[in-house]
Amino acid sequence: MKWMTRTWCCMLAAVMVFALLAVPGNSSAEEKKIVVGGKNFTEQYILPELAKDLLEKNGFDVDLKTGVGSVVARQSLENGQIDLYYEYTGTAYTVYYKQDDRAIMTDPQKVYQWVKDADAKKGLIWLQPVKFNNTYTLMMRKKQADELGIKTISDLSKYVNEHPDKLVIGVNAEFWERPDGFKPLMKYYDFKVPYDKIKKMDSGLVYKALKDKNVDVSMGFATDGRIAAFDFVTLIDNKSYFPDYSPAPVVRKEILDKYPNLPEILKPIAENLTTEQMRQLNAAVDVDHKDVSVVAKEWLESQGLLK
């Protein structure tokens, strides 16, 4: 009889354990998992790391999937292979929606609202944008730019038209093909670089190529720390060709519905990360060769965001 009593007690205890596991709010029953994506340049490795650290602080199990081009990142979000990633307003407006209204694309508020409204119809939700504008830019070594008197893209246009065989231009494949990239820029600024004076390479190599004098002009990103570190200058976009490129987390609606506190978790990145700080973080990785995860964590700790 005592044996039967012990058996029933054990069975009852097991039933109670399973019941507890099934109770809403139990951590095992509600394990929070999320996949964060990112593109294939330094800033797009850092931003997902920042998001990952804050999400993990809030109990999420985070899977990072970074290192792809813009179109692949976008498709991965639409297909549900990732749950969120940082996208740039100008990229969504010009590349995904193929729009070209300069009154919208060069205005940070207008372009953000436009892509936010358009993507909402697809179940993709734009959260609060980060403060900085990581616009594309054209760069030169400061000494050469000063010698040639080139300060603006119009100056570059004039020089290339007068000396078509003098300057070699470095671009990555995406910037060459994009609707907001180099080919439309030449048309917009009315100049043409001979094709044999174009060198295509990976994003990470264009800075080294410019530094090593393998090219004379290269594409770049405004928040890249190597611009100052390598004594480059960015040519002034005096005709407002480039769109605004403010980054913001874009998340699938079903994920946001499941985890409605995501905007609040990621909000500190949007409110605290400035252009100058982003340059410093990029430089820490690209110039000082520090690990991306270390750089991200140090910035969050410096802002008191991991307490």
pLDDT, tens only, 112-141: 999 999 999 999 999 999 999 999 999 999
pTM value is 0.81
- What strands lie across the sheet with 124-126, from one edge to the other? 60-68, 32-39, 84-88, 247-252, 124-126
pLDDT attached to residue 117: 98
Q: What dotted CATH number matches 32-134+245-302?
A: 3.40.190.10
**Between 229 and 16, where is the model more confident?**
229
Average pLDDT, the chain: 91
Whether the pLDDT of residue 300 is over 90: the answer is: yes
Whether the pLDDT of residue 3 is over 80: the answer is: no
Fold of 136-234: D-Maltodextrin-Binding Protein; domain 2 (3.40.190)
Q: Mean pLDDT across the stretch 79-101?
A: 96
pLDDT attached to residue 5: 47
CB half-sphere exposure, 272, CA atoms < 13 A: 14
Q: Mean pLDDT across the stretch 198-217?
A: 94
What stretch(es) of the chain map to CATH 3.40.190.120?
Answer: 136-234
pLDDT attached to residue 95: 93
Residue-wise pLDDT for 263-279, tens only, equals: 999 999 999 999 999 99
CA distance 174 to 182: 9
